[in-house]
Amino acid sequence: MKQNHAPPAAPRKWRRKKLIYPYLFIAPFYLLFLVFQLYPMIWSLVLSFYKWNGISPQTFVGLKNYQRVLTDQMFWESMTNTLWYLAANLIFILPLSVLLGQLLCTKAVRARKLHKTIQILPYITSTAAAGLIFSMLFDANIGVVNGMLGALGIDALPWLTSVELSKIPVMILSIWRNTPWYMLIVMSAILGVDANLHEAAVMDGANALQRMVRITLPSIRSVLLFSLINLTIDSARIFTEPYILTKGGPGASSLSVVQYLYTTAFDSFQLGYASTIGYMLTLVLLVVSIGYFISLRRQSEE
């Protein structure tokens, strides 16, 4: 009787090569991560305990930089401005993303591909270019916004030079630019919701709003949490919008934390103190993110 013999085992050397190949393919990512992310993170943490202007020898100061940041009025004012930007983004971007994403998933909407293309344009537009356009729109003398207000009988407002109003153009630009990205994320999640659930809800007489509240939103909860965390981090890192529109002024009325970090490092050349500001911001974001996860876990248990 003929017997089937198993093929001979591959040589040990060849098997080792096969195991090495996958690691060679992913090695560039880890190399770039080590050089451009992990090393700068560790170095900036070490630098936060020193006083250094980038040229003269480093001076170890221990926790003095952290003690200084706790009493730095400019830091806390920039942190307050950043919280305003964060609040505006959370209030407007996520609801708009859900509404626009749901709208683009509706079959009744015609030319949906065209609408998607138009709505994604703000996100792929250069922030610097968009900032220059918005600075012209909100110009106190020739701006379109003041022109529209004048047509309604309202006096022109100093949007970019007023302590009370300078944050508003920054908020509008940030919302305009970031909404399309989160709209795409939410829309992809909505498309993954089981269509049978909606069909059953329609047969039970549920309207569009009820289906969104009872089916769509609970089904995409994890994606909304992901968007919430990323939006929080993106909002805390806001830099280009206030830098282009107002330069952080007048005074520090629209200064963000990252912009203050930038000016401290590259205008004042206080590199050690700038690293401390960065890690204070990281600590705040870490606490907020942990709070998000704890809240989600409690809701899941309930």
Helix (H, G, I), strand (E, B) or coil at 59: strand
CA dihedral for 164, 167, 173, 179, sign (positive or negative): negative
Q: What's the Cα-to-Cα distance from 263 to each of 199, 274, 277, rounded to whole Å?
A: 56, 9, 11
Percent of the chain at pLDDT > 90 equals 46
Q: Residue 208's pLDDT is what? A: 79
Read off the pLDDT band of 171 (50, 70, 90): very high
Read off the pLDDT band of 251 (50, 70, 90): confident
Q: Are 94 and 301 in contact (CB under 8 A)?
A: no
Domain span at residue 196 reads 64-301
- What's the CA gap between 225 and 142, in Å, rounded? 41
Q: Residue 193's pLDDT is what? A: 85
Whether residue 237 lies inside any domain: the answer is yes
- What's the CA gap between 240 and 79, in Å, rounded? 16
Read off the pLDDT band of 191 (50, 70, 90): confident
Q: Residue 201's pLDDT is what? A: 83
Whether residue 16 lies inside any domain: the answer is no
CA distance from start to end of the chain: 66
Other residues' Cβ atoms within 10 Å of the Cβ of residue 81: 24
Interval 30-69: pLDDT, tens: 899 999 889 999 999 999 999 998 888 999 999 999 999 9
Q: Residue 270's pLDDT is what? A: 93
Whether residue 6 lies inside any domain: the answer is no
Percent of the chain at pLDDT > 70 equals 93
Residue 129 pLDDT > 80? yes
Q: Residue 293's pLDDT is what? A: 81
DSSP label of 72: -
Read off the pLDDT band of 219 (50, 70, 90): confident
Q: Residue 4's pLDDT is what? A: 54
Q: Are 156 and 149 in contact (CB under 8 A)?
A: yes
- What's the CA gap between 88 and 82, in Å, rounded? 10
Q: Are 281 and 260 in contact (CB under 8 A)?
A: no
Q: Residue 11's pLDDT is what? A: 64
Read off the pLDDT band of 296 (50, 70, 90): confident
**Average pLDDT of span 147-161:** 90
Read off the pLDDT band of 10 (50, 70, 90): low
- What's the CA gap between 108 and 208, in Å, rounded? 13
Read off the pLDDT band of 301 (50, 70, 90): low
Residue 1 pLDDT > 70? no
**Average pLDDT of span 255-271:** 93
Whether residue 156 lies inside any domain: the answer is yes
Answer whether the bond into residue 250 is a cis peptide, omega within 30°.
yes
Residue 302 pLDDT > 70? no
Q: What's the Cα-to-Cα distance from 203 to each of 176, 200, 219, rounded to whole Å?
A: 38, 5, 19
Question: Minimal CA–CA distance to 246: which of 79, 81, 80, 89?
Answer: 81
Q: What's the Cα-to-Cα distance from 208 to each of 18, 88, 106, 109, 215, rounded to whole Å?
A: 54, 27, 10, 14, 10
Residue 105 pLDDT > 90? no
| CATH number of the CATH domain containing 142 | 1.10.3720.10
Tokens of 301: 């248990």
Residue 7 pLDDT > 60? no
As a whole number, the mean pLDDT across the chain is 87
Whether residue 155 lies inside any domain: the answer is yes
Whether residue 171 lies inside any domain: the answer is yes
**Average pLDDT of span 77-96:** 94
Whether residue 218 lies inside any domain: the answer is yes
Q: Are 215 and 197 in contact (CB under 8 A)?
A: yes
3-state class percentages of the chain: helix first, strand second, coil last, to nearest 5: 70, 0, 25
**Average pLDDT of span 16-34:** 83
Whether residue 75 lies inside any domain: the answer is yes
- What's the CA gap between 80 and 252, in Å, rounded? 11
Other residues' Cβ atoms within 10 Å of the Cβ of residue 291: 10
Q: CB neighbours of 86 closer than 8 A, spacing ≥ 6? A: 232, 235, 236
- Give the residues across from 51 on adjacent strands: 59
Q: How many domains does the chain have?
A: 1
Read off the pLDDT band of 196 (50, 70, 90): confident
